[in-house]
Amino acid sequence: MSDLPLPQLLIWEWFTMMQGFTHIDGKGNARMVDVSAKPDTKRIAIAQGRIYLNAKTMELLENQALPKGDVLSCARIAGIMATKQTANLIPLCHPLFLSHVALDIVTLKDECAIEVRCTTETLGKTGVEMEALTGVTVALLTIYDMCKAFDRGMRLEGIGLQMKDGGASGYYTARV
């Protein structure tokens, strides 16, 4: 392989690396993974993230004094609804039958932050990590949307997978 000109060598290295990605076929084309031969197993994923607000917005939110209404209830519903739409939003993501979704929201007044945690569960052939991540992200974006008239400087941070279990890859937990 070292006899190849540099551009061809780089393409070959990229192609070789891509062989480990299940969403890339032997020709480098995107594809949806065939999971039909995989057994159904119980799968669970937990994702979380935060949104940071200014103190005034946090006070308005806690007192439910924002003109758009109950922000956190709306965010919870939006996050749950989003988990059910993940396959429509993320290319090549399998549509799943979710058996359980929980969206927990905690206000962290001292940090002027709101933490969102989404738990998704299914009995199926593929994991529910994308659904949990989508639920968290949409819930946080809903909070942003409902508060943006008072605080355009809000930041979403720390969105990530905290835990997953099930399937061939087994258990995973994020490092703290």
Q: Give 45-66 pLDDT, tens digit per residue.
A: 999 999 999 999 999 999 999 9
Same domain? 139 vs 71: yes
Q: Kindly name the residue from 3, 40, 145, 151 that is annotated as catalytic.
A: 145
Q: pTM of the entire structure?
A: 0.84
Domain membership of residue 58 as a residue range = 35-173
Most confident of 68-72, 139-143, 172-176: 139-143
Q: Distance of alpha carbon 28 from its chain centroid, rounded?
A: 26
pLDDT value at residue 33: 77
Under 8 Å CB-to-CB from 94, ≥6 apart: which residues?
Answer: 32, 33, 35, 87, 125, 126
**What does the pLDDT look like over 131-140, one tens digit per residue?**
999 999 999 9
Q: Check if the beta carbon of residue 152 is closer than 8 Å to that of residue 89.
A: no
pLDDT value at residue 154: 98
Catalytic (active site) residue 34: no
How is residue 80 written in tokens?
A: 């749950």
Same domain? 125 vs 143: yes
How is residue 158 written in tokens?
A: 């720390």
Same domain? 87 vs 145: yes
pLDDT value at residue 1: 45
Same domain? 26 vs 42: no
Sheet holding 155-165, edge to edge: 98-108, 113-124, 41-52, 155-165, 172-173
End-to-end CA distance of the chain: 41
**What does the pLDDT look like over 67-120, one tens digit per residue?**
999 999 999 999 999 999 999 999 888 999 999 999 999 999 999 999 999 999
